[in-house]
Chains A and B, each alone.
Chain A
Amino acid sequence: EAEVAQSPRYKITEKSQAVAFWCDPISGHATLYWYRQILGQGPELLVQFQDESVVDDSQLPKDRFSAERLKGVDSTLKIQPAELGDSAMYLCASSSVPQGRGEQYFGPGTRLTVT
């Protein structure tokens, strides 16, 4: 069964350091999402890609976060510099249907701890 892959699964970093997360969506899925989930809350959308184009990054803190999907397949989310408040679960999802419609499939997530 096709799955969304993410790495690393866990990351511990010191504040002010740079950190990067990687996501490989289900093959053929043109829509890719990055979510952040703070403990005790539901996931919140950070950025949405359609192929290699960003279609929604309204909740992405652009002063320190960046995301890319250069060839329209896998994607990288970067934080530089990391802050204590960035400690959270970062989830990647993909879908075969664009613009938030259709079923989304999630990867296992990357749990980030900033010390």
Chain B
Amino acid sequence: EPEVTQTPSHQVTQMGQEVILRCVPISNHLYFYWYRQILGQKVEFLVSFYNNEISEKSEIFDDQFSVERPDGSNFTLKIRSTKLEDSAMYFCASSEPPGLKTRDTQYFGPGTRLTVL
């Protein structure tokens, strides 16, 4: 069964450094998402991406964050100048093209645990 993959599984960085989290969505999916989950808290939406542009973003997704689809398979989240409060699990998700009932199903990757020291 196809699945979303994410690398690395764990990233440790120093405060102020830049990190890039990588995701490979399911191949025929066209909607891509990033979520984060601070330890012990709920999953929070960061951004959605469709047709090579951001379609929606939350107030968490400020100028520190950016997303990119550098090629036909990867989807990345860049965090510039990381802060201590950026420490969280970051999940990538993808969903099918619009117009299909299963568009409503978002499939999550295993996550990248980001630790900012």
Partners in one complex: no
Interfacial residues, chain B to chain A (CB-CB below 8 A): none
